[in-house]
Amino acid sequence: MTPRVREILEWYSSENPGLLTNLARILNSGDLAGSGRLCIFAVTEELLSNPAEKFSSNPNSFDPNYHFELAVESGVSAYIGSLGAIQACARNFAGEIPMILNLNSFKNEKSVLLATTADALRLGCSAVALTIKHGSEMSAENLTQIQRILASAQQVGLPLVVNIKCSSSMDEVASCVQASVQMGAHITMVSAPEEHFTNSELKKSYHDKRIRTAKLYDRVKHTLDCSLGGKRIVLFEAGSELGSEELTNQAKEIARGGGFGSMVGLMALKKSKDDSVKLLSQLMSNFKVK
């Protein structure tokens, strides 16, 4: 156990030993093991949508075994997948990479639960993930769903990852992260914040209080300040429309701002395996402790 991982676990000292053990397993896996940084590969976007849009550019990616192979070979910290994908592959890849079971998806903008914490426990997962979509702020329904899943996950010693799908405006990202950690999420994933605001009054407030937002590392630092003063793990989603060089620069800025790392989604499945492994390795190299 490295000093950095031990420090992070102390932030979660109110949790039970089983949950801390699973969180430590994620922090001690992959190429970033022990650094306190994470890179998580998530194949959870629009699980109930047409698969051709997600996988046709690389036919190998229709097979969830390919997702696991890519995750293991690239050395990411953990893999987030659906119940079907993890059930199909968990036995073959048992012990090779921490698995995180995604519990829900969206149908007609309504959240649909597709799995339970009991499924995650049965399959040997190290955590569960809940995806949240919302408008300008967290709705009561969002918060209630987080609370219910969190209570269920804590009972069986599983950390909760909350993956928030929101706009990338600075004020919205900050508000979402704060709501997530205040509800008790152990890891929050959110878009990398951009230098624009949804609420003009909040923009004025940021200006009046001299909160720096001009550079990405400034915005990352502020986002972490909103996560209990930086004492909760926050990951930033790698931009799906960015090229390899832009993604690398984004990772450097996140690291400079003290960010815990990145979440990489379906973009990793649209390239060849060699190219995806190279891309993920480049991203993670920016988060390794020098």
* DSSP for 157-190, written as a single string: T--EEEEEE---BHHHHHHHHHHHHHTT-SEEEE
pLDDT of 124 above 70? yes
Beta bridge partners of 191: 237
Can you tell me the mean pLDDT for 145-157? 94
pLDDT of 136 above 50? no
What is residue 55's predicted lDDT score, i.e. its pLDDT? 73
Q: Please state, as a whole number, how many other Cβ atoms lie within 10 Å of the Cβ of residue 20.
A: 18
What is residue 240's predicted lDDT score, i.e. its pLDDT? 65
User: What percentage of the chain has pLDDT greater than the value 70?
Assistant: 93
Compare 174 and 289 and report the one with higher pLDDT: 174
Q: Please state, as a whole number, how many other Cβ atoms lie within 10 Å of the Cβ of residue 187.
A: 26
pLDDT of 12 above 50? yes
* pTM exceeds 0.85: yes
Q: What is the mean pLDDT of the chain?
A: 90
Identify the band that residue 133 occupies on the pLDDT scale cut at 50, 70 and 90: confident
Of the given ranges (88-102, 114-128, 269-283), which has the lowest mean pLDDT?
Answer: 269-283
Contact 81, 93 (CB under 8 A): no
pLDDT of 80 above 50? yes
pLDDT of 137 above 60? no
- Residue 243 in 3-state DSSP? coil
CATH code linked to domain 3-281: 3.20.20.70
C-alpha to C-alpha distances, 65 to 1, 60, 68, 88, 96, nearest whole angstrom = 30, 9, 5, 8, 13
pLDDT of 135 above 60? no
Identify the band that residue 48 occupies on the pLDDT scale cut at 50, 70 and 90: low
